[in-house]
């Protein structure tokens, strides 16, 4: 079975080791359990396990994603810190906008992402000097300028993107070659998986990110703010 080119893997491992050597224990991996993040869990568990792992439980994830979190905990033998939104912020937001407020306006959707994702992310990163993400340049236009290592001006941290050069096929070749667990929704045409109410399947030829917040006007950036520099 083929795998991602070995020099591609070696470059990613080298970057993870650098991040670990320079910043551990104040370096963490933000894992959302997408296909790229599964590759990174494998590389971190084998080569750089002083990088801590956390995930954001927005409270609105797919059942398949929750099942995968526990499968990964068993498979990779890594502690995974699960961050939750502030309960009173969620209660206030839902009281004012309803449980599905994100369908009403772009501002409401951004508010929900801020409460359910950005708040917990800021808390997870509060003790960190650097973080690791699974973003790839090919995933979206908004990610085209990203580098393997860069300054994250939003959070004031060094940011490492070890898979930035990887193609989608290389990610899947790696997962299959190493028989890694992954989200079964990927087999149902969900290339990018976020919260259940805000993610849908795409059809052949569609932009992989077009399944996220699909109801929003053309021109709105299909990002939740986690990987946008201010």
Which residues are tagged catalytic?
224
| Contact between 113 and ligand SF4 per CB under 6 A | yes
Give the nearest distance from C-beta 208 to ligand SF4 in angstroms: 16
Contact between residue 18 and residue 188 where contact means Cβ atoms under 8 Å apart: no
Contact between residue 81 and residue 108 where contact means Cβ atoms under 8 Å apart: no
User: Which residues pair with residue 152 across a beta bridge?
Assistant: 157
Give the nearest distance from C-beta 103 to ligand SF4 in angstroms: 9
Of positions 28, 194, 222, 227, contacts ligand SF4 by CB under 6 A? 194
Stretch that binds ligand SF4, among 5-13, 36-44, 86-94, 106-114 (CB under 6 A): 106-114
**How would you classify residue 59: left for phi > 0, otherwise alpha for psi between -120 and 50, otherwise beta?**
left
| Contact between 225 and ligand SF4 per CB under 6 A | no
Q: Count residues contacting ligand SF4 (CB under 6 A)?
A: 13
Does the N-terminal peptide bond of residue 25 adopt cis geometry, omega within 30 degrees of 0?
A: yes
Closest residue to ligand SF4 using C-beta atoms: 195
Residues 6+ apart with CB under 8 A from 123: 83
Of positions 51, 62, 117, 128, contacts ligand SF4 by CB under 6 A? 117
Does the N-terminal peptide bond of residue 157 adopt cis geometry, omega within 30 degrees of 0?
A: no
| Contact between 224 and ligand SF4 per CB under 6 A | yes
Compute the C-alpha angle 29/77/159, nearest 5°: 10
Angle between helices 35-47 and 168-177 (to 10 degrees): 50
Give the nearest distance from C-beta 73 to ligand SF4 in angstroms: 22
DSSP state of 164: T
- 102/131 with CB nearer ligand SF4: 102
Stretch that binds ligand SF4, among 15-23, 45-53, 168-176, 190-198 (CB under 6 A): 190-198
User: Which residues of the shown chain bind ligand SF4 in the complex (CB under 6 A)?
Assistant: 58, 60, 102, 109, 112-113, 116-117, 194-195, 197-198, 224
């Amino acid at each position: 079975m083929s795998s991602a080119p070995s020099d591609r893997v070696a470059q990613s491992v080298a970057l993870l080791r650098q991040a670990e050597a320079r910043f551990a224990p104040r370096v963490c991996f933000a894992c959302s359990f997408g296909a790229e993040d599964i590759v990174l869990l494998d590389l971190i568990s084998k080569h750089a396990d002083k990088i801590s792992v956390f995930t954001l439980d927005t409270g609105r994830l797919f059942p398949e994603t929750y099942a995968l979190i526990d499968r990964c905990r068993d498979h990779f033998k890594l502690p995974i810190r699960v961050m939750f939104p502030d309960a009173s912020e969620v209660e206030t937001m839902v009281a004012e906008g309803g449980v599905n407020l994100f369908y009403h306006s772009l501002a409401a959707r951004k508010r929900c992402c801020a409460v359910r994702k950005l708040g917990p992310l800021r808390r997870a990163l509060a003790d960190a000097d650097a973080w690791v993400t699974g973003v790839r340049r090919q995933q979206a236009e908004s990610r085209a300028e990203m580098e393997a290592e860069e300054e994250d001006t939003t959070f004031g941290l060094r940011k490492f993107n070890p898979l930035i050069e990887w193609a989608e096929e290389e990610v899947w070749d790696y997962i299959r070659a190493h028989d890694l667990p992954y989200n079964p929704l990927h087999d149902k045409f969900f290339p990018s998986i976020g919260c259940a109410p805000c993610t849908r399947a795409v059809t052949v030829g569609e932009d992989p990110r077009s399944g996220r917040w699909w109801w929003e006007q053309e021109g709105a950036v299909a990002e939740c703010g986690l990987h946008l520099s201010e």
